[in-house]
């Protein structure tokens, strides 16, 4: 994986900005207002503007991206994205120390990246040969399901599989279930399949009995737990879905690094999906204190 070699090509604000501009308009400038393709580049500000030659609209390359409205140097963002791609990610506390920003800024950056991965994942339905498990996250999920850990949370996990039978694209979704309730309701399974699987092109195997799980997929759920608990001290259930999206998103990015680098793929997602605002993030994630998220 090339995450430590890529940064050499993004060694200045200008290099980062030019890379983002190239990702924004891959086939050259297109005016977001009128579709015209000729423009004049205005370099007087920190973020260059592109003035449409037809309607005069001034387009910023960072509008509707994770970087919109940021006051941070892009170099810090690129560094954060690289660190996010480490096998087990990085905590906000550690990130704040490494890239020299406040804890709150680091926390927000990481949640914006998670949001990007989550939105990107939601657009990619599982299709083909799909396995779906009702499983548990936390405790020791490899232990017999008949004796789940009291703090384990119910999840529905789904994946496509490679020719070798290994989980490829994976989704792990928390479902609402009362503590101690051992049976995942059938409608939760149906809801997952309805929303996350492209039913028209898929053969779906979802064992009806909890103890007949697709073991390679169960293993990924276990790996997610191991990885997340190694980086984040304590994750409350209200935040957990974003972290599960982080795990599966990173796993997917790191799996297939044939075309372009892993960082470039993540950057492309960051340029394609508008950032979530701090207020939306807080509203969505209830009133738990920031520190609880590590
Ligand atoms: Zn225009």
What pLDDT band is residue 141 in, cutting at 50, 70 and 90?
very low
Determine the pLDDT at residue 118: 94
Q: Chain-centre distance of CA 78, in angstroms? A: 16
12 and 75 Cβ atoms separated by less than 8 Å: yes
Provide, rounded to the nearest whole percent, the portion of the chain with pLDDT above 90: 61
Tell me: pLDDT of 51 over 80. Answer: yes
Name the 3-class secondary structure at 203: strand
Q: Is 110 exposed, middle or buried (0-12, 13-18, 19+ CB in 10 A)?
A: buried
Sheet containing 153-161: which strands, arranged edge to edge? 167-174, 153-161, 126-137, 197-205
Contact of 251 with 260, CB cutoff 8 Å: no
Percent of the chain scored above 70 by pLDDT?
82
Q: Give distance in angstroms: CA of 42 to centre of ligand 1.
A: 15
Q: How far is the CA of 73 from the centre of ligand 1 (A)?
A: 28
Hunting for tokens 């605002």 — which residue is that?
277
Q: What is the SS3 assignment for 270?
A: helix
Instruction: Report residues near ion ligand 1: CB below 5 Å.
Output: 31, 33-34, 36, 52, 54-55, 57
Number of helical H runs and strand E runs in the chain: 9, 7
- Tell me, in angstroms, the distance from the centre of ligand 1 to residue 36's CA: 5
């Amino acid at each position: 994986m090339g995450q430590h070699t890529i940064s050499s090509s993004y060694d200045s604000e200008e290099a980062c900005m030019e890379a983002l501009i190239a990702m924004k308009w891959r086939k050259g400038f297109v005016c977001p207002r009128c579709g015209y393709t000729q423009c004049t580049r205005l370099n007087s500000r920190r973020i260059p503007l592109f003035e449409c030659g037809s309607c005069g609209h001034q387009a910023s390359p960072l509008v509707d991206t994770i970087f919109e409205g940021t006051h941070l140097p892009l170099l810090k963002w690129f560094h954060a994205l690289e660190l996010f791609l480490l096998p087990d990610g990085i905590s906000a506390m550690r990130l704040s120390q490494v890239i020299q920003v406040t804890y709150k800024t680091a926390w927000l950056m990481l949640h914006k990246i998670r949001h990007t991965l989550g939105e990107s994942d939601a657009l990619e339905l599982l299709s083909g040969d799909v396995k779906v498990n009702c499983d548990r996250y936390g405790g020791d999920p490899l232990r017999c399901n008949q004796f789940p850990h009291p703090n384990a949370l119910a999840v529905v996990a789904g994946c496509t599989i490679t020719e070798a039978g290994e989980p490829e694209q994976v989704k792990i979704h928390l479902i609402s279930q009362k503590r101690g309730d051992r049976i995942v309701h059938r409608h939760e399974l149906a809801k997952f399949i309805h929303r996350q699987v492209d039913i028209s092109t898929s053969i779906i195997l979802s064992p009806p009995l909890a103890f007949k799980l697709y073991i390679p997929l169960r293993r990924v759920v276990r790996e997610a737990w191991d990885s997340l608990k190694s980086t984040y001290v304590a994750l409350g259930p209200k935040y957990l879905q974003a972290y599960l999206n982080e795990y599966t998103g990173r796993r997917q990015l790191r799996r297939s690094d044939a075309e372009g680098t892993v960082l470039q793929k993540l950057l492309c997602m960051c340029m394609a999906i508008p950032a979530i605002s701090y207020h939306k993030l807080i509203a969505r994630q209830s009133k738990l204190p920031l520190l609880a998220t590590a």
